[in-house]
Structure 1
Amino acid sequence: MDFGQAAPNPFRLCSGLRVLGYLMILMVAAIIAVTYYAVVIVVWSPRLLHGGLSSAALALAVLVPFHLLLVLLIWSYFMVVFRDPGTVPVNWRPTFDVESLEITSSDSVAHESRLSSESSSGLERRLNIGYCNFCQNNKPPRCHHCSVCQRCVLKMDHHCVWVVNCVGARNYKFFLLFLLYTFLETILDTLALLPHFITFFGDAKNHSSSAQNLAVTFIAFVLNLAFSLSLLCFVVMHSSLVLSNTTTIEVYEKKKAVTWKYDIGRRKNFEQVFGTKKIFWFLPLFSEKDLENIPALGGLEFPMRSDVEA
């Protein structure tokens, strides 16, 4: 079906925000570098190398989890940055092999097109699918057009300038792990730098430490404290969204619904994001079996509650 010429996109200039995202990547690298220098080089390595047995043991208790969390944090971060959140295949059409899969969607900029098919029982069904005027393509359920990326994103949660990418069906887990490990890392860094921060003013007055080390320690402590407090809110918010099977974009839509159609139980909601293999839950990876057996991880089909009509 020909829908004519694509409408002018007034949000095309928003794609310029991607430049800001590249600056954010440099900022993330700078924060990690400053923190690493303060925690490892200035504070705890001297205690490990030149302290007594108890001091060395305490240093190991800090440095081992510090490096473990740092590896997981960076790994998750790069997976969010470089993993495609999911885009709509050209000329996509819905399937409905099982009755639990949603076959309707709506969007404020959608143009509805009607398709008809027959179920296995021979009864005709009407499928209401969204249409994106900008991409000139059909839109699966929970799909939204990103004005920054200039494309439709599957199960779009939001566009994150910190990762220069959209957060969607295929990288949402990695984004959540990045949030979690960054939160835990900043908490650990704050606690690890706290004793040194308390003696900061005494050291500055007595000139017992170099000005560079004092400045780096002070900046690292303040940054990690600020990020840990702000990330706590995001961790709590996204934990609630995962357990209710809701995206950030869908929060308002959910408020208007008596029963949220995608909420199929906390366990299954969680598995739609993290998979069923427990060994992979805390790693930015998916098992091949989960990718094959959980359609929601692909971002095109989503189970619905049986007591909610499509």
Structure 2
Amino acid sequence: MVWLLAIPVVFLWWLKSLKTARQLDRLERLMLFEPTGPSGLSQNDITVMIAVRDRLDYRLENALQSIRTQSYDQSLIQILLVDYSSQEELIPNYQKLCETFKALYLRIDGQPFFRKGDCLNQGLLQVKTKFLLICDVDIIFENNYIETAVQRMQKSCNQIIMSRMLDLPEGAVNSVVNVLEEYPKLKQIATQRGVKFSRYLYGKAMCMSFTRYFRLVGGYDDTFALWGFEDDDLFQRFREIGLKTTCISDATSYLHQWHPKYEGVSNHPDFQKKMSENKAKYKKRWVRKGFWSR
């Protein structure tokens, strides 16, 4: 009679599988009606969106350089830098950097502290390309990253593209570098973050998929403040609509330039309080569903 106890478990598993199958079928049908024509959505164009607040140094320039030296057709790559109320004296420098790397600059004024989710949602409203890749200010992409990501997306539309994060040691990069020349050497001294943190499978902050999927799930949760969990929360909502995770570390990579932990946010008087609130909110939302991943 013990086997009778397994019936409810098997039934619930079957219902979940059926729900996922229906979600995937819906996504497949959704992509069959991808618009074509003057909007450009028939092309495999992509926006790389970067959120920034008071971060203007060599790391951002290296990140932008790595995007503009991609092997992928540069005419199909748009860069959007979203400035979330940085100090006003930095505005001309951001604008000059965007001009150099042919990036769009979007300024969000009047925000007392950093909310990455709200920053990226404001940028999402401006995105008009088929694909969207989210990038942090301190990331250096291998030059085949976007090409590889788009190729994988063309094999199946029901996925989100991620990669393992490779951390550079302190002092490895201290200035603007020639990313094409230096990348192979830098990659050799980088450490895979998952080795140190066993639950850290992917760099969820650097995710890529169809732009319409970001909108389908409602974008980021903009109530997470200062640091933490908005990327994980988005990842779980992607999973709920049936997207699978595709890791492309077998063919490409990106590097995370070293910086002090919690740089730019730890000096906020409510930092620890906000961190605790973010964690509690995430756990309340996802632990009961079996999605806890941190």
TM-score w.r.t. length of structure 2: 0.29
User: Which is strand-richer, 1 or 2?
Assistant: 2
Q: Which has the larger radius of gyration?
A: 1
User: Which is helix-richer, 1 or 2?
Assistant: 1
TM-score w.r.t. length of structure 1: 0.28
